[in-house]
Copies of this chain bind each other. A is one copy, B any other.
Amino acid sequence: MGRLLAVVLGAAAGGGFPQWNCGCPACRLAWAHDPRVKPRTQASIAISTDARAWVLLNASPDLREQIAANPVLQPLSERRDSPITAVVLTGAEIDQIAGLLHLRERQPFSIFATTAVLGALDANPIFSVLARGVVAREPIPIGESFFAAPGLAVEFFAVPGKQPLYLEGDDPELAIETDVNVGVEICADELRLAYCPGAAAMTPALRQRLADADVVLFDGTLFTDDEMIRCGVGKKAGRRMGHMPIDGPDGTLAALSDIRARRILVHINNTNPILIAGSPERQKVEAAGWEIAEDGLRIEL
């Protein structure tokens, strides 16, 4: 029987928690070091079958700090090396790709992503600091299984989402399935973990994919669709940003109430009241059987 290890390197949505320029109620608690909240870096998961070689799911802008906080990701030899052997990208948002810039210095590893996500890297010459002769860029179609490391099979699956903000036009299409926002299924023998940090809506196919997993790490960005507007820190509803709410009749709790998997909310926005211990929103989420990811959470299957 196989083994599948996952470490949550970062549990926050884009900007992290607290966010550099935010004074919303949860961020104010975090800036004040209130014990009811724990700071979180931007979302990324490390996966391994043997605790020696690690595959990252997305490369967060906070990756250097995340490596410092997680000794399993630190070099072992007296020269240059790293236990990080691959990075799997589920999209091309800043919080999913900017951390690649931390992985410079001519260290070999592989980047696995869809053609659209690799295209976003290709369009930015700054990523050529990862020289193509050193860091392989491997295009992977949705629905095609590949090995990101020995014994670690990976498959991208379609998820309703949106274009990255810096690529979208004036009138972006919302909640469409494209290969610039995908979920990822990790299989080690019969063990399955699904990671889906951004979903604008639930579909029958997405629900079935999550229902087949042992562990689901799912989009926990916003508790309610109008949360950022009510906090006075944004003008966009959650779905407009590519994220379905946790609460409500068509929210995540309702959509995934009866799947068997261990369910964990991740990619949590700084405005989300589930970040605050004791809040009614956190109580509701926990009563529904969900865990709330925090940095350093270890999952062993």
A→B interface (CB under 8 Å):
14-16, 18-24, 27-28, 31, 39, 41, 61-65, 67-68, 71, 74-82, 94, 97-98, 101-105, 107, 120, 123-129, 165-167, 232-233
Contact = CB atoms under 8 A, between A and B. Distances in A.
Contacts of A128: 166
B124 A78 contact: no
A158 to B, nearest CB: 24
Contacts of A97: 126
Contact of A62 (B20, B21, B65, B103): B65
Contacts of A64: 16, 20, 41, 61-62, 65
B61 A23 contact: no
A102 B14 CA distance: 9
A80 B234 CA distance: 9
Q: Which 6 residue pairs are nearest across A and B when measured between Cβ atoms? A: A129-B166, A21-B82, A124-B124, A21-B107, A23-B75, A23-B78
A94 B19 contact: no
B125 A80 contact: no
Given A61-B64, A64-B16, A101-B94, A80 B126 contact: no
Contacts of A107: 20-21
Contacts of A82: 20-21
A127 B164 CA distance: 12
18 contacts: A15-B105, A20-B102, A20-B103, A21-B103, A23-B75, A23-B76, A61-B101, A62-B65, A64-B65, A65-B65, A78-B232, A79-B233, A94-B101, A98-B101, A120-B126, A124-B126, A126-B126, A129-B166
B166 A105 contact: no
A74 B16 CA distance: 14
A81 B21 contact: yes
A101 B20 CA distance: 11
A67 B124 contact: no
A215 to B, nearest CB: 27
Nearest to A108: B21
A124 B178 CA distance: 23
Between A81, A126, A233, the greatest number of chain B beta carbons within 10 A of the residue's beta carbon is seen for A126
Contact of A125 (B81, B103, B167): B167
Given A104-B94, A105-B15, A125-B123, A80 B23 contact: yes
Contacts of A74: 18, 20, 31
Contacts of A23: 75-81
A75 B19 CA distance: 9
